[in-house]
Amino acid sequence: MISLALETSSKYGSIALFRDDQLVEEQTLPRTDGTAKTLAPALHELLARHAVSPRSLDLIAVTNGPGSFTGLRIGIVTAKILAYASKAQVIGVNTLHAIALQAPDEANRVTAILDAQRSQLYVADFHRVDNWLEPIAETRITDRETWIDDLTSESIIIGPVLEKLSSNMDSSVPLAPKESWEPTAVNVGRLGLHLYQQGQRDDYWKMVPNYYRLSAAEEKARAEDKKADAADESTS
């Protein structure tokens, strides 16, 4: 089985190629240009280096959120095109779950976090079951300061936003090693293969990013619509 993993939720994405459950190669996308310019050439080069035809792909795993709105769209569109061309299965994976898998093996509880902007965080909690991290609850958005105030030492914390937050957190809260904070295509691939083996299959025609919130433009438009509705009611 040949599978391909795409991680495009973060500022600098990565891709990985697997044969069965063995990593063939992971490649970080060039940082000189955005994902839109670098993803397709990097995929072409990766497959060519290992003499893998796109038509021989069996599974494509891709982060479907949360994360960068633009990055997620690029990754999912690319995954859908590849799946259509190769007749491969495609599976969208939660970015926070992929990050959690990078925590130390001895961690029994893991909390993965991402920056949701506007002083908020995307947060998801996981616990170890049969040597695998399973979600405890759905991904949520929470206020950054409230989350920091409620922290305990029960769960190891992981995620790239720790770059900003760690200095404000109590020293008793365990943090994963810094080199594990960023999401990687390797763990997107591991998670995708795990879900595939558990029977998950996604329809590439219906696959869309899960942003977990409206964009700033959509929230502004919705607020303006509510104002207009309220104005109409007051004059009726």
76 and 12 together in one domain: yes
Same structural domain, 209 and 176: no
pLDDT category at 201 given cuts 50, 70, 90 is very high
Q: Is 229 helix (H, G, I), strand (E, B) or coil?
A: helix
Which residue bears the tokens 């979600």? 135
If one counts the domains in the chain, the total is 2
Same domain? 172 vs 61 = no
* Residue 224: band (very low, low, confident or very high) from pLDDT cuts 50, 70, 90: low
Residues 61-87, mean pLDDT to the nearest whole number? 96
Compare 185 and 213 and report the one with higher pLDDT: 185
Mark whether 60 and 173 lie in a shared domain: no
140 phi/psi in degrees, rounded to 5? -135, 165
| Residue 174 CB-density burial (10 A; 0-12 exposed, 13-18 middle, 19+ buried) | middle
Domain of 25, in residue numbers: 2-94+183-215
Are residues 43 and 140 both part of a single domain?
no
- Domain assignment present for 6: yes
What average pLDDT does range 115-135 have in this prediction?
96
| Whether residues 82 and 10 fall in one domain | yes
Find the farthest-apart pair of alpha carbons in the chain and give their distance in angstroms, rounded.
69
pLDDT of the residue at 203:
95
For residue 147, the domain's CATH number is 3.30.420.40
Same domain, 12 and 42: yes
Query: Based on the domain organization, do 9 and 78 belong to the same domain?
Result: yes
| Mean pLDDT of the residues in the chain | 92
Give yes or no: residues 54 and 15 share one domain. Answer: yes
